[in-house]
């Protein structure tokens, strides 16, 4: 006698067991000889999470398609798999390691990946069980994970092939760098947070003139919210229609602390109504400056390590063309290795001591932060 109500918890596991024992969903099951192939590769859910309503809808639609094509006699494969989710997985495994007082950097890359595999073995089954509970008719004998060796080799082979065919190229670009997680992150993983900071106005001496902080004709004023990046400045930009600076275009500025000769360039990126109208250009540490640098063929000098510490001592790009004096070397040695925010305070002190600090203004502005690491992101040349 049939029950009055349908009890899914009792009925569906029995049906699923029958399907599994019959290999009903294996690739080619029930297909006619020589049948046309029909394949769907499942958009792999992240191993760090669990399925939500969107997954249920998406996988139901895929299931409808593959079941329909099986009924038509086609050789059907619905390929199941999971994605390692990159940083998300790394953070989960790192938290587990920290509970045991183990830091990721205490392990080799191979050892850390082994820990990821161990964690995947513990948690990955939950997602596949959810898919099976939905009745997804995938070929479960072919489960894949995006860290599988075969898939990793395939990705590498595709990139090499595309490069050889001239369809992709390798070049220096700026990325959103997370100095806590030590990885590049996408724009979608960057959050703009409003902070109360400062706008520092610096005097950059004009080459060939005796610097006098009381004489505006001997310097050009630029403003910045990130004083530490001035170590990598390679130009000062002014608007081509700004009469105040037209006589300086093509001339050089001498960068304080560093001694680098940098040109004054005319570029519409500079806004005559903003600040002094002159903008310091640091191609290796600002996305807009990078484009200005490309237009004017300026060098890009990265002055930070991957952990956002100042790097000067062994930095060939920084030292290129500079006259090294004992005084400058002493200052560079003092700055070398400092955290970016510690270096910021030190540079402001040095600029003030030399008469190069014109003024400081409170300034509320947006600072990009990583949504996972939670620290300010650095535009980083790689």
Task: Tell me the pLDDT tens digit for each residue of 18-38.
Answer: 998 898 999 988 888 889 999
Per-residue pLDDT, 287: 97
User: Within 10 A of 304 (CB to CB), how many other CB atoms are there?
Assistant: 25
Domains in the chain, please, with CATH?
8-164 (3.40.50.620), 187-381 (3.90.740.10)
Q: What is the pLDDT of residues 298-313, one digit of tens each?
A: 999 999 999 999 999 9
The average pLDDT across 317-326 equals 93
pLDDT value at residue 230: 98
What is the reported pLDDT for 161? Answer: 97
- Sequence length of the chain is 382
Residues in Cβ contact with 279 at an 8 Å cutoff, skipping those fewer than 6 apart = 222, 236, 237, 238, 269, 270, 271
Average pLDDT over residues 237-259: 96
Residue 308 CA to residue 283 CA, distance in Å, equals 16
203-211 average pLDDT score: 96
pLDDT level of residue 294 (50, 70, 90 thresholds): very high
Strands 357-370 and 144-145: unpaired
* Residue 140 confidence class, pLDDT cut points 50, 70, 90: very high
For residue 98, is pLDDT > 80?
yes
Nearest to 253 by CA among 214, 291, 199, 209: 209
pLDDT at position 123? 74
Give the Å distances, CA to CA, from 366 to 41, 58, 363.
41, 37, 10
Does the structure show a pLDDT above 70 at 96?
yes
Which pLDDT belongs to residue 195?
A: 95
Q: What is the pLDDT of residue 178?
A: 96
Average confidence (pLDDT) over 109-119: 88
pLDDT for the residue 231: 98
Task: Quickly state the pLDDT bin for 265 (edges 50, 70, 90).
Answer: very high
Query: Which pLDDT score is estimated for 232?
Result: 98
Region 165-175 average pLDDT: 94
In percent, the amount of the chain with pLDDT more than 70 equals 99
Judged against a pLDDT cut of 70, whether residue 350 lies above it is answered with: yes
Percentages of the chain per state (helix, strand, coil), in multiples of 5? 40, 25, 40
The predicted model scores a pTM of: 0.77
As a whole number of angstroms, the distance between CA 75 and CA 77 comes to: 7
Share of the chain above pLDDT 90, in %: 73
Please check whether residue 345 is in contact with residue 226, taking contact to mean a CB–CB distance below 8 angstroms.
Answer: no
Mean pLDDT of 214-239: 97
> Taking 80 as the threshold, does the pLDDT of residue 125 lie above it?
no
Mean of pLDDT values over 172-183: 94
CA 286 to chain centre: 14
Report the pLDDT value the prediction gives residue 1, as an integer from 0 to 100. Answer: 65
């Amino acid at each position: 006698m049939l029950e009055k109500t349908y009890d899914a918890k009792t009925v569906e596991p029995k049906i699923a067991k029958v399907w599994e024992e019959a290999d009903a969903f294996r690739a080619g099951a029930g297909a006619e000889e020589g049948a046309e192939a029909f394949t769907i590769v499942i958009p792999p859910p992240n191993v760090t999470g669990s399925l939500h309503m969107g997954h249920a809808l998406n996988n139901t639609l895929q299931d409808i398609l593959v079941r329909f094509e099986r009924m038509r006699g086609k050789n059907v494969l619905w390929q199941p798999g999971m994605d390692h989710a990159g940083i998300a997985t790394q953070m989960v495994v790192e938290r587990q390691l920290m509970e045991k007082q183990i830091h990721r950097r205490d392990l080799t890359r191979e050892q850390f990946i082994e820990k990821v595999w161990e964690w995947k073995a513990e948690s990955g089954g939950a997602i596949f069980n959810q898919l099976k509970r939905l009745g997804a008719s995938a070929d479960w004998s072919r489960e894949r994970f995006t860290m599988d060796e075969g898939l990793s080799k395939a990705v590498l082979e595709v990139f090499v092939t595309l490069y050889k065919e001239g369809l992709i190229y390798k070049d220096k670009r700026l990325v959103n760098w997370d100095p806590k997680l030590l990885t590049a992150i996408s724009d979608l993983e960057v959050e703009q947070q409003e902070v109360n900071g400062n706008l520092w106005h610096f005097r950059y001496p004009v080459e060939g003139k005796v610097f006098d902080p009381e004489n505006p004709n001997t310097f050009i004023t630029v403003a910045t919210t990130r004083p530490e990046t001035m170590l990598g400045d390679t130009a000062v930009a002014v608007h081509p229609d700004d009469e105040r600076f037209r006589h300086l275009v093509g001339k050089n500025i001498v960068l304080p602390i560093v001694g680098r000769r940098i040109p004054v360039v005319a570029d519409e990126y500079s806004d005559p109504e903003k600040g002094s109208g002159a903008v310091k250009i640091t191609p290796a540490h600002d996305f807009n400056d990078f484009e200005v640098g490309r237009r004017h063929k300026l060098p890009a000098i990265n002055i930070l390590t991957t952990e956002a510490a100042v790097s000067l001592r062994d930095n060939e790009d920084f030292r290129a063309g500079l006259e090294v004096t004992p005084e400058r070397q002493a200052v560079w040695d003092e700055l070398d290795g400092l955290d970016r925010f510690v270096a910021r305070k030190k540079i402001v002190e040095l600029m003030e001591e030399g008469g190069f600090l014109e003024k400081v203004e409170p300034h509320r502005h947006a600072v990009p932060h990583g949504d996972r690491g939670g620290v300010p992101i650095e535009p980083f040349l790689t």
